[in-house]
Amino acid sequence: MARMSLEDFEARYGANPDPWGYTTREYERRKYEATLAACGDGPFADALELGGSIGVFSTLLAPRCERLTTIDAAPTAVASARRRLAGARQVDVILGEIPDAIPIRDFDLVVASEILYYLTASGLARTLRRLESAMVTGARLVAVHWRPAGPERPFDARQVHMILREQPWLERFASNGAGDAYRLDVLERI
């Protein structure tokens, strides 16, 4: 399989409203717990979640945020996230592709969970430039990616996290992960 296209993502959500088992898999529950711990207690004035999907992690993160923006490119996933987050007034669910849909604001937290490795090399570079402009000094970037490589992703977790750690505007704050399952890094905007 070649790199997953927007049509491929949309087809998965059309066939199954929770194609990756975000609401049912133990892996996801544990990853969400570790990701929330890596984010910190907050409160965050303005947080951004890249690849928010159907909003499962967003519902866990939202109580820690005065304002939370989630972005996903799949219309079916965004519609589901909007329904799931309808009662959270501080959350804005954006339908759009990264990096173009990333608002330029003063984010003090950015979460990129299992999304950056789907980008092309130029898309990842553009996303990082956009985040550099949108994050305040001291802001956290929490990146978590499933370790096994896949033919639908241009990068694997190791490659993405190496690129993140090489950014001169980011400093690694902490690393964690669940063995062979996923890699989790917390970086700070300097």
**What mean pLDDT do residues 5-16 have?**
93
Q: Return the bridge partners of 116, or none.
A: none
How far, in Å, CA of 178 to CA of 190, rounded? 27
The pLDDT assigned to 149 comes to: 86
Domains of the chain: 6-189 (3.40.50.150)
The arithmetic mean of pLDDT across residues 121-146, rounded, is: 97
Angle between helices 75-84 and 6-15 (to 10 degrees): 50
pLDDT at 1: 45
CA angle 154, 158, 72 (to 5 degrees): 55
In this predicted structure, what is the pLDDT of residue 92? 98
- On the question of pLDDT at 150 being above 50, the answer is yes
Residue carrying structure tokens 């529950």: 29
Identify the bridge partners of residue 170 per DSSP, sorted by sequence position.
189
Our CA dihedral for 8, 154, 175, 170, rounded to 10 degrees, sits at: -110
Could you read off the pLDDT of 89-105 as tens digits, one per residue? 999 999 999 999 999 99
- pLDDT given for residue 156 in this prediction: 94
Question: What is the model's pTM?
Answer: 0.94
Q: Convert the pLDDT of each residue in 27-85 to its tens digit.
A: 999 999 999 999 999 999 999 999 999 999 999 999 999 999 999 999 999 999 999 99
Residue of 59, 36, 39 lying closest to 108 (CA atoms): 39
**End-to-end CA gap in the chain:** 38
Flag whether pLDDT at 114 surpasses 60: yes
